[in-house]
């Protein structure tokens, strides 16, 4: 997006998707498109923005939605014949919204411990400790380390808003493949805010070919480590990422890159 902005396009970073509604209202002659990405954590704000756009009857606002869901991705990894994952630290912000009831059948079916974990260093350490304890005891259950923010049922109001605006759909994951029922799309009632429908979807939705040097799919599944990638630190860097794990500071490749010994 920054490269597109450098060519002269009007690309803005906003604090909240709701900010886009004000931009659309102030610029009625321009089309405003918000790029909605993220797991369940960011979906409520996206849903609220679409709801308010509908209430305001905005005709120059839409969203390009690329929201994905965590549980189907976990199942896709665990069901793979190459799976090496023995336990999960479930993201605390996702579970704050969605709760952790839907993780229980995954832990039972695949016999893996799943520990809902916060993001402070002590949270991560305790989450790892609880996960290791289960493995040593040959247990496989849900454990909530992040109880100060997460409840089993999650945020019911946020979940109802998500269901009001979105429905579940298949989603393509870079480095892996298409995972059934792993994404969200805008419901027909609010379809006027779907940029894929509003504009030429063939122009908007294109999947770029992935680099043959990139092994991000294997890294995402825990099959290989970032330093085992032939492009790591050379062709692939945080400034020029070839795969998703190098894109943000939360990615495994980016972490290996920043904290590697040189």
203 band by pLDDT with thresholds 50, 70 and 90: low
147 band by pLDDT with thresholds 50, 70 and 90: very high
Residues 50 and 95 in one domain: no
74 in a structural domain? yes
Of 119, 144, 169, which residue is a domain's last?
144
- Eight-state DSSP code of residue 28: T
Residues 184 and 223 in one domain: no
Least confident stretch, 16-30, 101-115, 205-219? 205-219
65 in a structural domain? yes
134 in a structural domain? yes
86 in a structural domain? yes
Its sign, for the CA torsion 256, 219, 89, 134, is negative
Residues 33 and 7 in one domain: yes
List the domain range (segments joined by +) for residue 235: 216-259
- CATH number where 127 lies: 3.40.50.11750
Residues 136 and 23 in one domain: no
Mean pLDDT of the 233-253 span: 90
Which bin fits 181, alpha (ψ -120 to 50), beta or left (φ > 0)? Answer: left
Retrieve residue 141's tokens: 């259950």
Picking from 134, 145, 128, the residue whose alpha carbon sits closest to that of residue 112 is 134
């Amino acid at each position: 997006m920054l490269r597109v902005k450098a060519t002269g396009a009007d690309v803005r970073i906003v604090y909240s998707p709701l900010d886009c509604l004000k931009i659309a209202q102030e610029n009625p002659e321009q089309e405003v498109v918000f790029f909605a990405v993220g797991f369940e954590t960011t979906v409520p704000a996206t849903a609220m923005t679409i709801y308010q756009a509908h209430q305001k009857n905005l005709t120059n606002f839409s969203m390009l939605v690329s929201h994905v869901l965590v549980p189907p991705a976990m199942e896709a990894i665990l069901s793979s014949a190459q799976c090496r994952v023995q336990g999960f630290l479930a993201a605390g912000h996702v579970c704050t919204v969605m709760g952790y009831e839907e993780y229980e059948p995954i832990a039972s079916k695949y016999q893996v411990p799943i520990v809902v974990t916060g993001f402070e260093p002590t949270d991560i350490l305790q989450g790892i400790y609880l996960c290791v304890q289960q493995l040593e005891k040959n247990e496989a259950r849900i454990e909530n380390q992040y109880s100060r923010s997460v409840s089993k049922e999650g945020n019911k109001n946020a979940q109802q808003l998500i269901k009001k605006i979105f429905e579940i759909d298949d989603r393509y994951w870079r480095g892996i493949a298409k995972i059934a029922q792993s994404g969200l799309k805008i419901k027909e009632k609010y379809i006027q805010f779907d940029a894929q429908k509003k504009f030429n979807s063939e122009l908007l939705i294109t999947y770029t070919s992935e680099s043959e040097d990139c092994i991000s799919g294997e890294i995402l599944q825990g099959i290989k480590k970032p330093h085992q990638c032939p492009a790591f630190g050379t062709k692939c860097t945080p400034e020029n990422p070839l795969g998703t794990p190098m894109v943000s500071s939360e990615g495994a490749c980016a972490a290996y890159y920043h904290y590697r010994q040189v």
